[in-house]
Amino acid sequence: MSETATRLRGKDLLGIADLEAAEINLILDTAEAMKEVASRPIKKVPTLRGKTVINLFFEPSTRTRTSFEIAEKRLSADTLNIAIAMSSVVKGETLIDTAQNLEAIAPAIMVVRHGSSGACHLLARTCRAGIVNAGDGTHEHPTQGLLDAFTIRERKGRIQGLKIAIVGDLLHSRVFRSNILLLTKLGAEVWACGPPTLMPPGLERLGVHPTTRVEEAVEGADAVMMLRIQLERMQGGFFPSLREYFNVFGMTPERVRLAKPDAIVMHPGPMNRGVEIASEVADGPASVILDQVTNGVAVRMAVLYLLAGGGENEAAA
């Protein structure tokens, strides 16, 4: 698993499913160099100067969008933020038409977040620009998976052989899907925990250990990852109340103590304090939640560079 590729195949990043372990390592290694840029007085490099990157977001998002925007600006790209309310899509333009109209300004990359699984695949097939998936429906959120892995690797030195517990709404979480694909590719032992109503089928087939007992998942874990419970899920009748969810599955200090003493606690954000995670845990010493945000910029810079910053093999010295 220590093999590293020299480039990414393809012009898009649509999901962890399409990445080999060697490519994942390339992204993570490049992200380390990118993280150093953030520590400079001038937090900018000219790598994507003159290239246009469009952030095309069909779902509202402050966190992911600003992270991408900072990453793009630090690489000196020209950024364009387009937020499209889903209702205007319903009224008129198709997804393909919207994207192809934007191609008129010849973007190098379009960073796309959309409510339908597979939307980015459709755009990748029909657009010349490279497509970076910033979250499609309940399918994948690959840059989140990558920054989570980066954070674990930064704190633990490696991914292989670690026990990692992921707890929450597994069925609807694109972060979950990206993470289990990535962590199993890099050789971690992944435990997935949630209520049976929110457990997707076939997890064992992916090499993941499913359980409905959070204690079993967390025991001896090196990292615990909490997923957001979307409040709308309660209307779907998946579990009776937030109070009950917290009692059965919430990450409390007692449950954190079941993990290894130096275990880290993660959350992709935004958090529902008192639902999936107790405040003392979110703010406690084991929490690396803010590091995840910092690392998100570095990882996204790495992805953008590897997709759009290409060059000849050997430059004249």
Catalytic annotation, residues: 63-64, 91, 113, 141
Q: Is 95 in the site for other proteins (CB under 8 A)?
A: yes
Q: Is 200 in the site for other proteins (CB under 8 A)?
A: yes
Residue 102, SS3?
A: helix
Smallest distance, Å, CB 274 to other proteins? 28
The single residue among 187, 207, 269, 309 that binds other proteins, judged by CB under 8 A, is 309
Q: Is 41 in the site for other proteins (CB under 8 A)?
A: yes
Q: Is 196 in the site for other proteins (CB under 8 A)?
A: no
Q: Is 311 in the site for other proteins (CB under 8 A)?
A: yes
Among the listed residues 80, 28, 23, the one whose alpha carbon sits nearest the alpha carbon of residue 51: 80
Alpha-helix residue ranges (DSSP H) falling in the chain: 21-37, 63-74, 86-91, 95-102, 119-126, 142-156, 174-185, 214-218, 232-235, 242-249, 253-256, 279-282, 289-308
Interacting positions 233-252 with other proteins (CB under 8 A): none
The single residue among 3, 20, 33, 279 that binds other proteins, judged by CB under 8 A, is 33
Residue 46, SS3?
A: coil
SS (H, E, C) 215-270: HHHHCCCCEEEECCCCCHHHHCCCCCCHHHHHHHHCECHHHHCCCCCCCEEECCCC
Exposure on the CB side of residue 297, measured as CA atoms within 13 A: 21
Q: Is 139 in the site for other proteins (CB under 8 A)?
A: yes
Q: Is 9 in the site for other proteins (CB under 8 A)?
A: no
The contact pattern for other proteins, residues 46-85, with x = CB under 8 A and - = no contact, is xx-xxx-----------------------x----------
Q: Are the CB atoms for 83 and 27 separated by under 8 Å?
A: no
**Contacts to other proteins by CB under 8 A:** 6-8, 17, 26, 29-30, 32-34, 36-37, 40-42, 44-47, 49-51, 75, 94-96, 114-119, 121-122, 136-140, 171, 174, 177, 200-202, 205, 302, 305-317
